[in-house]
């Protein structure tokens, strides 16, 4: 069975601080996919990034960066120089490869509050 753990429930930082959101996953598959979604106060779910299990390269997109480490089953998300607009709930998700049991499992989410 697949599982995603986001141990941090709420994080509060002051604007311009860096913050890392942790994600640990469990799966028996060798091929799987990891995702991060953002849910701003308006409620919609916004896709941020996808990573497959064969690609351990870190990725940077502007102030956002992701660190994927298979050895520790982690896919952490760092926001550099946080801004008030980053305040949201962030979800990490896991999907096994395509197939009849291709569920998409989410963690419980991390509520990030960025104070001015």
Partner 1 sequence: NAGVTQTPKFRVLKTGQSMTLLCAQDMNHEYMYWYRQDPGMGLRLIHYSVGEGTTAKGEVPDGYNVSRLKKQNFLLGLESAAPSQTSVYFCASRPWTGRTEAFFGQGTRLTVV
Residue numbers 22-51 binding partner 1 by CB under 8 A: 32-33, 35, 43-45, 47, 50
- 3-state class of 24 per DSSP? strand
In the bound complex, what is the minimum distance in angstroms from residue 96's beta carbon to partner 1?
A: 6
Out of 22, 24, 67, 108, point to the residue binding partner 1 (CB under 8 A). Answer: 108
Backbone angles phi, psi at 86, to 5 degrees: -80, -10
* Residues linked to residue 60 through DSSP beta bridges, in sequence order: 65
Contact flag: residue 107 with partner 1 (CB under 8 A): yes
| CB distance 64 to 51 below 8 Å | no
Distance from C-alpha of 3 to C-alpha of 82, rounded to nearest angstrom: 28
Contact footprint for partner 1 (CB under 8 A): 6, 9, 32-33, 35, 43-45, 47, 50, 52, 91, 93, 95-109
């Amino acid at each position: 069975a697949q599982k995603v753990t986001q141990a941090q429930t709420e994080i509060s930082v002051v604007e311009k601080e860096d913050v890392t959101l942790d994600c640990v996953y469990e799966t028996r598959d060798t091929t799987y996919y990891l995702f991060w979604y953002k849910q701003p106060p308006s409620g919609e779910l916004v896709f941020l990034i996808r990573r497959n299990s064969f690609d351990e390269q870190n990725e940077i997109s502007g102030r956002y960066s992701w660190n994927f480490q298979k050895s520790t089953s982690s896919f952490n998300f760092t926001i550099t120089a946080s801004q008030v607009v980053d305040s949201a709930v962030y979800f990490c998700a896991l999907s096994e490869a395509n197939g009849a049991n291709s569920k998409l499992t989410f963690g419980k989410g991390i509520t990030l509050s960025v104070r001015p």
